[in-house]
Structure 1
Amino acid sequence: MKDDAFSMGGGVGVLPGPAAGRPEARAEGLGGRLSLGELTRAVGEGAIDTVIVAMTDMQGRLIGKRLTGRFFLETRCGPQLFCDYFLATDMEMTQVPGYQAASWQKGYGDFALVPDMATLRALPWLPGTAIVLADVTTREGLPLVHSPRQMLRRQLARLDALGLVADMAAELEFYLFNESFEAARAKSYQGLKASSWYPEDGHIFQTSKDEPYIRAVRNLMERADIPVEGSKAEWSAGQQEINLQHAEALETCDRLVLYKNGCKEIAHGMGRAVSFMAKLDESAAGNSCHIHLSLRERASDRPVFADAGAPAGMSETFRHFLAGAIAHAPAATFFFAPNVNSYKRFSAGTFAPTRLAWSIDNRTTSFRVLGTGKGLRFECRVPGADANPYLAFAALIAAGLAGLEQRLALPPAYEGDAYLADDMPRIPGTLHQALGHLERSAVLRQAFGDEAFEHYLHCGRWELGAFERAVTDWERLRLFERC
């Protein structure tokens, strides 16, 4: 990695692989960003017939509407009404009681999806289809404060008030399976055929076998103007990582949610399946979403993290910001690890962190400082691949800003195996613990505002309660006969 770069380490006509002949496996459409004029021409020529208007729900999934291209243009690309229950449900789309923003008592009314036309692009893996991401507002046009994209926008506005811009990137890991989503579901997700049978970290031969899918993703993302650095196998059998190039924070999150959804759609078209679940099996490595962050001045583009005259080349701004990210990480962890399963990833000796310490290029700590000069940044290793990137980025920025405001002192860098650091604070080990830290956080309450803060507390409490009511296969196996 070059010190002056912020880096994380061909066209496709038909997706290769066993299902390439099926209509749903074809990628016949345009690709890349579209201006309104280009969309108008493409719709008129029949090259695009469908426009998806989408947002993410609290869980990070793309949801929205498919509109005919004609209708989207006739309505002048205007707001689309959408039921407000979509930001008041759990993973099962249950109408969760107790939310102040949406309920049966309030009649589950509408909010508005306002297309952000800067995000408009053609999806080359879906024939004749374009997509535009939307900001969520009330019917009166006010930002819906608990919508994930607006949560991030609020923190970016705080940075902007200081004249700062966040450049960010994230490394999303996933597992690739040689069977379809439908087949995996029919087997209750047990005994699935991973794309390899042995640990494959960095292996070129095994990744050559994975190339029909991985190459399709790399090239199709490039065509969709989601720039890719490269790909590699991760540690466990079937585990993959495709790294996207860094960008400003909002753009990076937009790319991540399109990429994650696209990975699933491309896999489905090829008769394969992928999973971003944080911990698929106790014997396998977890799927992470390591977040890289640096700051620069908006007016001059001057990086503010680097200071050649300071210890380790780290500016006072960097030290305060990183100190805040560490100090408030326990409260932010719910946004990094939003599911009960998320916490099973935090296991010693697995490259997932367990201790809240920072280091210079040491993968046993939660925060790792990388690069020099313009490339100086830190990597937050706490989030899992199941995190909603808008919420995870928002929480990380809010924590760092608190460090700046409070002028927090950065503790010494940790050296050695942080898994053995009994004197260092732990990452919350359960969803229950993380919610306890969040409940007590005046910093995140102030950063997000009372309404959004309470909305996500309720979300976490409901998720925890749903798990606590469930009877698992582990319990039946352990207790059915022997208790």
Structure 2
Amino acid sequence: MMEKAYADKINQLKAEAVTWVKLAFTDIDGVHRGKYVNIEKFISILEKGAGFCDCVLGWDINDQLYDNSEFTGWHTAFPDAKYRVDISTERRLPDEGGMPFYLVNFVNDNGEPHPICPRSLLQGVVAKAKSMNINIKLAFEYEFFVFDETPDSIRAKNYRDLKHLTPGNFGYSLLRTNTHSELYHDFLHYCEQMNFSLEGIHCETGPGVWEAALLYDDALAMSDKASLFKTFCKSFFQKKNLMATFMAKCSMDYPGQSGHIHQSLLDATTGESLFYDESADHQMSPLMQHYIAGQQQYLSAFLPMCAPTINSYTRLVKGFWAPTAATWGIENRTTALRVIGDSAASMRVEFRLGAADANPYLAAAAIISAGLLGIENGLQPTAAIKGNAYEQEHSLPGNLQLASNLRDAVRDFKACAEVEQVFGPQFSQHFIASRLWEVREYEKQVTDWQLQRYFEII
């Protein structure tokens, strides 16, 4: 028998005379994939389910199939990966005549969450928190460059000598937001229409750099919004013959692009803050200390889920506003974990390691899981860092140092006993395979640096 929510949705769409619907999911890299379906097909999907070829869970961002995955490949003959529509994610696409849009979750044959579906993975982490009577609130912040270019022009230029939307650094510039106010207003309104409203937006330091802070929400809903923000932000600008990029670092001349995550834990029954304790040092409750300690302890091991690309590690450089060790401090922007707030409403921890290129579902799953392990095991954090964290890393235990490249980060991920315990063996093995594939694809390349360095002189 069809779920009542599905039946009600079908009746609503029929009453509106909706003819087409758009569906999407994110792959392991956080790239949205999907399709249009007519209303009759959509009704059939709600009633019976449907599937995408499971290659979509076994290829890279260039649609190249992994050759090292057990889950999917030529050896499996690429059956369908079944999915179900999450109708609670409905948006009406403002630039497609109000067409309904939905996210989907992959499921197994028995209807249970698929082990390597990124969104389902986060749902499982959130469910674990709920079993501990914890509700998690998140807020993502993204930095991104905007270029006066098109997908064709960047390729014609071979990604070199690109024209930024605006020149100069101009951090927090009123001049830039005044001059381009129409573009900013259009973007703010678009974000509201797409149900990923912003708390704030400003010019960040660097030519054409914007920083947007999404308005906080429950962990899964916030990760949906963060994921959709990245995709629809890019399409918003491309429709205006501009381009936005969320690469962790698109030029060595400028700081990298972050994807910071603010986290608050609430009592799931009362809604009260679990982080705030008026009588404690810095008003940090014992539970908050355990949560931070868990993130310190497991940040190195879970790093590939937060820094998943080759490019991610060009951002993790001392003195460039990104951490290189699992440090924490009170209102300290040189640490990986920044404690903020002096009231129950404001008390939170900012995860500053996250890069803009991370899959929001996997980054959220990683940091929340690390924090929950800290609570479960009663872990204690190191002393808070005061002053410049980069200058004090030598005094920290070795397991708090972060890998400087993806291959080493995957090594640490693979060596951590808790990885399979927390994320499941199938996801863990598949994710390792996907990141090692990424490393191998990179290592096949002869770079401009190598040519300039060696071609003549060696």
Give the shorter-chain TM-score range.
over 0.9
Asked if 1:41 is matched to 2:15, the reply is yes
Q: Do 2:197 and 2:215's aligned partners in 1 also have CA atoms closer than 8 Å?
A: yes
The match for 1:350 is 320
Looking at structure 2, the residues matched to 215 and 363 of structure 1 have their Cα atoms a distance apart, in angstroms, of: 29
SS in structure 2 of the partner of residue 120 of structure 1 = strand
Q: Percent identity?
A: 30
Q: 2:395 aligns with which of 423, 430, 453?
A: 423
Looking at structure 1, the residues matched to 328 and 83 of structure 2 have their Cα atoms a distance apart, in angstroms, of: 40
Q: 1:375 aligns with which of 336, 346, 361?
A: 346
SS in structure 2 of the partner of residue 102 of structure 1 = coil
Closer/same/farther in 2, CA of residues 152 and 356 from structure 1, 3 Å limit: same
The match for 2:28 is 58
The match for 1:314 is 284
Gaps spanning 5+ residues in structure 2: where? Answer: 1-7
The match for 1:17 is none
Q: Do 1:54 and 1:113's aligned partners in 2 also have CA atoms closer than 8 Å?
A: no
> If the length of structure 1 is used for normalisation, what is the TM-score?
0.89
Aligned-pair distance for 1:128? 4.3
The match for 2:53 is 83
Asked if 1:186 is matched to 2:132, the reply is no
Aligned-pair distance for 1:468? 1.3
Q: Do 1:56 and 1:62's aligned partners in 2 also have CA atoms closer than 8 Å?
A: yes
Looking at structure 2, the residues matched to 88 and 281 of structure 1 have their Cα atoms a distance apart, in angstroms, of: 30
Looking at structure 2, the residues matched to 247 and 413 of structure 1 have their Cα atoms a distance apart, in angstroms, of: 28
The match for 2:230 is 260
The match for 1:145 is 115
The match for 2:371 is 400
Q: Which moved more, 1:414-423 or 1:334-343?
A: 414-423
Q: Which moved more, 1:417-426 or 1:214-223?
A: 417-426
Q: Which moved more, 1:205-214 or 1:299-308?
A: 205-214
Query: Would you identify which runs of 4 or more consecutive aligned residues in structure 1 move more than 6 Å?
Result: none
Q: What's the CA shift string for 1:175-209, capped at 9, x where partnerless? A: 00112222112211111111111002100111233
> If the length of structure 2 is used for normalisation, what is the TM-score?
0.94
Asked if 1:463 is matched to 2:438, the reply is yes
Closer/same/farther in 2, CA of residues 77 and 229 from structure 1, 3 Å limit: farther
Code of the aligned partner of 2:277:
D
Code of the aligned partner of 2:370:
A
Gaps spanning 5+ residues in structure 1: where? Answer: 1-33
Q: What's the CA shift string for 1:49-75, capped at 9, x where partnerless? A: 431111100110111221123432355
Q: What's the CA shift string for 1:110-134, capped at 9, x where partnerless? A: 1122110000110113334221001
Q: Do 1:173 and 1:242's aligned partners in 2 also have CA atoms closer than 8 Å?
A: yes
Looking at structure 2, the residues matched to 191 and 77 of structure 1 have their Cα atoms a distance apart, in angstroms, of: 52
SS in structure 2 of the partner of residue 295 of structure 1 = strand
The match for 2:271 is 301
The match for 1:363 is 333
Aligned-pair distance for 1:36? 5.2
Code of the aligned partner of 2:345:
K
The match for 2:429 is 454
Superposed, which structure 2 residues align to 1:60-139 within 5 Å?
60-73=30-43, 75-76=45-46, 79-139=49-109
Q: Which moved more, 1:303-312 or 1:384-393?
A: 303-312
Looking at structure 2, the residues matched to 474 and 369 of structure 1 have their Cα atoms a distance apart, in angstroms, of: 40
Looking at structure 1, the residues matched to 123 and 28 of structure 2 have their Cα atoms a distance apart, in angstroms, of: 15
Looking at structure 2, the residues matched to 375 and 38 of structure 1 have their Cα atoms a distance apart, in angstroms, of: 39
Looking at structure 2, the residues matched to 244 and 370 of structure 1 have their Cα atoms a distance apart, in angstroms, of: 17
Code of the aligned partner of 2:374:
G
The match for 2:383 is 412
Q: 2:294 aligns with which of 307, 317, 324?
A: 324
Closer/same/farther in 2, CA of residues 411 and 389 from structure 1, 3 Å limit: same
The match for 1:439 is 414
SS in structure 1 of the partner of residue 441 of structure 2 = helix
Looking at structure 1, the residues matched to 48 and 361 of structure 2 have their Cα atoms a distance apart, in angstroms, of: 23
SS in structure 2 of the partner of residue 340 of structure 1 = coil
Q: Do 1:399 and 1:443's aligned partners in 2 also have CA atoms closer than 8 Å?
A: no
Looking at structure 1, the residues matched to 431 and 383 of structure 2 have their Cα atoms a distance apart, in angstroms, of: 33
Code of the aligned partner of 1:447:
V
Q: Which moved more, 1:315-324 or 1:345-354?
A: 345-354
Looking at structure 1, the residues matched to 13 and 378 of structure 2 have their Cα atoms a distance apart, in angstroms, of: 48
Asked if 1:478 is matched to 2:453, the reply is yes
Q: What's the CA shift string for 1:414-467, capped at 9, x where partnerless? A: 001112123234322111221111011112221011111111111111111111
SS in structure 2 of the partner of residue 355 of structure 1 = coil
Looking at structure 2, the residues matched to 195 and 364 of structure 1 have their Cα atoms a distance apart, in angstroms, of: 29
Number of equivalent positions: 446
Aligned-pair distance for 1:105? 1.0
Aligned-pair distance for 1:317? 0.7
The match for 2:4 is none
Q: 1:341 aligns with which of 311, 315, 319?
A: 311
SS in structure 1 of the partner of residue 386 of structure 2 = coil
Code of the aligned partner of 1:254:
D
Q: Do 2:68 and 2:437's aligned partners in 1 also have CA atoms closer than 8 Å?
A: no
Q: What's the CA shift string for 1:390-417, capped at 9, x where partnerless? A: 0000010111111112111121110011
SS in structure 2 of the partner of residue 117 of structure 1 = strand
The match for 1:242 is 212
The match for 1:166 is 136
Looking at structure 2, the residues matched to 235 and 388 of structure 1 have their Cα atoms a distance apart, in angstroms, of: 24
Looking at structure 2, the residues matched to 220 and 177 of structure 1 have their Cα atoms a distance apart, in angstroms, of: 19
Q: Do 1:125 and 1:220's aligned partners in 2 also have CA atoms closer than 8 Å?
A: no
Looking at structure 2, the residues matched to 482 and 207 of structure 1 have their Cα atoms a distance apart, in angstroms, of: 48
RMSD: 1.6
Looking at structure 1, the residues matched to 251 and 55 of structure 2 have their Cα atoms a distance apart, in angstroms, of: 32
The match for 2:3 is none
Q: Do 2:45 and 2:84's aligned partners in 1 also have CA atoms closer than 8 Å?
A: no
For CA contacts below 8 A with separation 6 or more, give which structure has more relative contact order: 1
SS in structure 2 of the partner of residue 306 of structure 1 = coil
Q: 1:282 aligns with which of 252, 257, 260?
A: 252
Closer/same/farther in 2, CA of residues 75 and 278 from structure 1, 3 Å limit: closer
Q: What's the CA shift string for 1:199-248, capped at 9, x where partnerless? A: 02100111233434332221011012222112101111111112110000
Q: Do 2:259 and 2:354's aligned partners in 1 also have CA atoms closer than 8 Å?
A: yes
